[in-house]
Amino acid sequence: METQVERQRRIGVEIPVTITTVLDSLEAAIADMTEHGAQVIGCTLPAGTRFQIEYMGQTLYAQCRWAEVDRMGVKFSFPLTDGPLHERLMLARASQLPGEAPTGTHLAYEPMQARLGGQGLRPFGRATGGFGRRTG
C-alpha cells in the first residue's frame, strides 16, 4: 500500500527571482508556491540539481524535482517561514477568495514565447544560451 503525501494548495504568484547554481545565475519567475516548494518558469535545470533562489536579499536553498522545456518544480531545503518570499506568499494567499483557483498557475502553461512577448525565442531546438535558455 502506497503512502500518499498530503500536499498544500499552491498559491499563484508572479515573483521575479534569480536562480544561482555553481556555474551560472539565471533570471526566472515563481509562478506558484507553498512553504515547501514552488514552480519556477523561465529556466530549467536537470532534476536533482541543488541551487539557490535569491529574492530581495533572501536566499533559499532548493532542489529541482522535475523539469520541462521552460519550467521546473522545486522543493525548498527548509520550509519557508519568514523573509520577503514568505511575505509575498502570505499576501497572495490572503488575496484569494475561499475556493478560488490559484491565479498564477495559468502562467506556467502559456508558451514561453507568448509570456516574453515573442522576443526571438524558439519553442524547440538546441539550447544555445546555456541552461535551457534559447536565443534567436
Q: For residue 24, give its domain range.
A: 12-81+101-113
pLDDT given for residue 28 in this prediction: 97
Within-domain flag for 77:
yes
Within-domain flag for 96:
no
- Rg from Cα positions in the chain: 15
pLDDT given for residue 2 in this prediction: 57
- Sole residue written with cell 539565471: 26
Please state, in angstroms and as integers, the Cα–Cα distance from residue 5 to each residue in 8, 78, 89, 134, following that order: 10, 17, 21, 35
What is the number of domains present in the chain? 1
- 3-47 per-position pLDDT tens digit: 555 567 889 999 999 999 999 999 999 999 999 999 999 999 999
- Give the domain CATH number at 31: 2.40.10.220
Within-domain flag for 118:
no
Q: Which range among 46-60, 83-97, 110-124 shows the weakest confidence by mean pLDDT?
A: 110-124
Within-domain flag for 6:
no
What average pLDDT does range 60-86 have in this prediction?
Answer: 96
Separation between Cα atoms, residue 131 and residue 125, nearest integer Å: 13
Within-domain flag for 36:
yes
Q: E strands of 21-134, at which residues?
A: 25-33, 37-41, 50-55, 58-67, 71-76
What predicted TM-score, i.e. pTM, was given to this entire model? 0.67
Q: Tell me the pairing of strands 50-55 and 37-41.
A: unpaired
Within-domain flag for 62:
yes
